[in-house]
Amino acid sequence: MILSNCTKDDIDGALDSVNQKYKGNIRLNNYQQLSGTGLRHRVTLRVIDSKGEGAHISRHMEIFGGKPRHTTSACWHVHGHFIDALYGTKITSGGRVFNAGDMWSDFNAGSVMFPLYASDSCNCT
Ligand SMILES: [Zn+2]
């Protein structure tokens, strides 16, 4: 995701805040500063332990009787908490724009026949 109008310190603070909720399992991946002013960044959220808190679980194979696959991607909830912790920051991800405090919007990551919502793709309660 692309973060605009925040500093690296803001990002680190948001990461600390998220890690308090997810037992320290969240990390930044592929961090890149995109502007000379230090106010534009590219970052991916990942988990340290794919079976730990905040891990995205791919459930597509469950539809066909298979097992869910634990991934190192951070889940929808982690992204929501991270965005909320970056007040005043514009976040662009997957062609969509988010701002801290916006209502979290869930989406169907499956298909019409086999709906699978982003918010259901993890073990968060
Ligand atoms: Zn979750």
Split at pLDDT 50, 70, 90, the class of 44 is very high
Going from the Cα of 117 to the center of ligand 1, the distance in angstroms, rounded, reads 11
Predicted local distance difference test score (pLDDT) of residue 59: 85
Closest CA to 76 of 55, 92, 98: 55
Going from the Cα of 36 to the center of ligand 1, the distance in angstroms, rounded, reads 34
In the predicted model, what is the mean pLDDT of the chain?
92
DSSP state of 108: B
Average pLDDT of the segment spanning 85-103: 87
Task: State pLDDT tens for residues 6-30.
Answer: 999 999 999 999 999 999 999 999 9
- What are φ and ψ of residue 96, in 5° steps? -110, 150
Going from the Cα of 1 to the center of ligand 1, the distance in angstroms, rounded, reads 18
